[in-house]
């Protein structure tokens, strides 16, 4: 089985949210639902006075969807067996026919990737655009990014090209679920667990 995953280059991302909107359009999601979200993370302060000011302010963006993890908390938590890893791609898919709307996956996933559909009372989430991937196309978010900050490929290929880091605030530490995600850090970025910065757009990503 090839295990596919995402690469995110924080040095390229401008926080434009084209990826998020392209996904919402392609998946026909309502106004309050997003499978890919973009966190605005910032912090630091100014000190001194007059022309002796110094500062350590920073601001950056993190685009994230489901990370199709190797130790998926969603799958473990689901009491109805609605989650499975696709045998060809390693993408985590949810069978909405099997989902009983218990929402255990939503509470268990540290990335908050599964979302509750109030109309159907089922959970749903990013499936890595599995139908596109099986036609040798990239996920729609990757195609849409104007800065080429996202890539999608065999995770072994991505790790050989870009290393094996998936730690970036405000995402959780990767050892929780072993995400198939590679992150390139920019000079401003902080690792997961950072306590200096704050999430500046909580209502957008909740």
Which residues in this chain contact ligand SF4 in the complex, by CB under 6 A?
A: 13-19, 38, 61, 63, 66-69, 72-74, 92, 109, 111, 113-114, 125, 145, 147, 149-150, 177, 179
At closest approach, how far in Å is the CB of 45 from ligand SF4? Answer: 26
If the CB atoms of residues 14 and 160 are measured against ligand SF4, the closer one turns out to be 14
If the CB atoms of residues 177 and 189 are measured against ligand SF4, the closer one turns out to be 177
If the CB atoms of residues 92 and 158 are measured against ligand SF4, the closer one turns out to be 92
Nearest to 10 by CA among 144, 164, 150, 193: 150
Task: Using DSSP, state whether 159 is helix, strand or coil.
Answer: helix
Q: C-alpha angle 106/125/127, rounded to 5°?
A: 140
Task: Using DSSP, state whether 76 is helix, strand or coil.
Answer: helix
Structure tokens at 196: 């200096």
At closest approach, how far in Å is the CB of 53 from ligand SF4? Answer: 30
d(CA 154, CA 52): 50
At closest approach, how far in Å is the CB of 122 from ligand SF4? Answer: 14
At closest approach, how far in Å is the CB of 100 from ligand SF4? Answer: 17
d(CA 27, CA 16): 19
If the CB atoms of residues 46 and 81 are measured against ligand SF4, the closer one turns out to be 81
């Amino acid at each position: 089985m090839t295990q596919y995953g995402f690469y995110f280059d924080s040095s390229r991302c401008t926080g434009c949210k084209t990826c998020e909107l392209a996904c919402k359009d392609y998946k026909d999601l309502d106004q309050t639902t997003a499978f890919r979200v973009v966190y605005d993370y910032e912090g630091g302060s100014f000190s001194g006075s007059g022309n002796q000011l110094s500062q350590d302010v920073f601001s950056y963006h993190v685009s994230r969807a489901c990370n199709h993890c190797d130790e998926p908390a969603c799958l473990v938590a689901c009491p109805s067996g609605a989650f499975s890893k696709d045998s060809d791609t390693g993408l985590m898919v949810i069978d909405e026919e099997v989902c009983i709307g218990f929402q255990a996956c939503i509470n268990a996933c540290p990335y908050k990737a599964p979302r509750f559909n109030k109309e159907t009372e089922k959970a749903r989430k990013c499936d890595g655009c599995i139908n596109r991937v099986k036609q040798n196309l990239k996920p729609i978010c990757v195609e849409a990014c104007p800065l080429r900050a996202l890539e999608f490929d065999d995770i072994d290929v991505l790790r050989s090209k870009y290393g094996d880091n998936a730690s970036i605030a405000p995402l959780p530490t990767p050892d929780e679920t072993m995400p198939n995600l590679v992150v390139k850090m920019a000079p401003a970025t902080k690792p997961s667990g950072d306590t200096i910065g704050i999430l500046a757009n909580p209502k957008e990503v909740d």
